[in-house]
Amino acid sequence: MNDGLIPKRYAKALYKLAIENGDSQEIYELLKPLSRGFRGLDEVKRVLTNPKVPEQDKGRVMMQLLGAKPGSSLDKFMLLVIRNNRAEYLRKIALAYVELYRDDHDIAQVDITMASELPQEQLQGIVDIVRKLKPGITLEVETAIDPELIGGFTVKVGDVLLDASVKNELKKLRLKLLS
C-alpha cells in the first residue's frame, strides 16, 4: 500500500471521529506541533515501533507528547494506530489531519522566514499583503529566523514560495554570470 495513502485514510477516519465527537479543533491544535516535527522524533519512533514495548506504554508516550487527555478521541485513535502497527505513520497522519482541517475551515499556513528579526510593522505589512491575496481565508502565521538568508525574507503559503532574500538574489546573479 502507498506510503501516502495509509496516513490519509487514517487522518480521514480520525477527522470523521473528531467531528462526530465535537473535538476536531482540539485535536487539530494537538496535532499541529507533531505535523511540524519536533525534537526527538526518531527516538519516539524507535519506541513506538519496538515490539517489546507494550501498546499501552506506547499510547501513553504519545499522549504525554501531545498533551492529550486520556480517554479522548485522540487517545483511542493513537491506540488503534499503534495496535495496527502503523506508528511509523503518526507524523504523516498528523500532517494529513492538519491539512484536512485547514481545507475544511479555510485556513492557510503562512511561513515567514527572515534573516533577522523584522520590526512588527514590516511583519504586519507582509501578512497584510498575503491577506489581500487570500481574501476570506484565516491565516496562521509562523515566523522563523534563518541567518543563511543573509538579508530579506521568504514567505511560503501552501505550495507558493516568495523568496525576497539576499541569498536568492546572489544565487540568481551567480547563475546569470555562469550562463
Spell out the domains of the chain, with CATH numbers in brackets: 5-103 (1.10.520.20), 106-178 (3.40.30)
| Exposure on the CB side of residue 177, measured as CA atoms within 13 A | 6
In this prediction, residue 82 carries a pLDDT of 84
Assess whether pLDDT exceeds 80 at residue 41: no
Write out the three cell numbers for 155.
514567505
If you average pLDDT over residues 88-101, what whole number do you get? 90
Instruction: Show the DSSP H helices in the chain as ranges.
Output: 5-21, 24-36, 41-49, 55-66, 73-83, 90-104, 120-133, 166-178
Per-residue pLDDT band for 37 (boundaries 50, 70, 90) equals low
If you average pLDDT over residues 123-132, what whole number do you get? 94
Question: Model-level pTM?
Answer: 0.81
Write out the three cell numbers for 116.
533577522
Assess whether pLDDT exceeds 90 at residue 35: no
In this prediction, residue 38 carries a pLDDT of 58
Q: Among residues 85, 90, 5, 79, which one has the least CA distance to residue 42? A: 90
CA distance 104 to 1: 26
CA distance 109 to 111: 6
CA distance 93 to 43: 18
Collapse the DSSP code of 127 into the 3-class scheme (helix H, G, I; strand E, B; otherwise coil) and give the result.
helix
In one letter, which amino acid is 2?
N
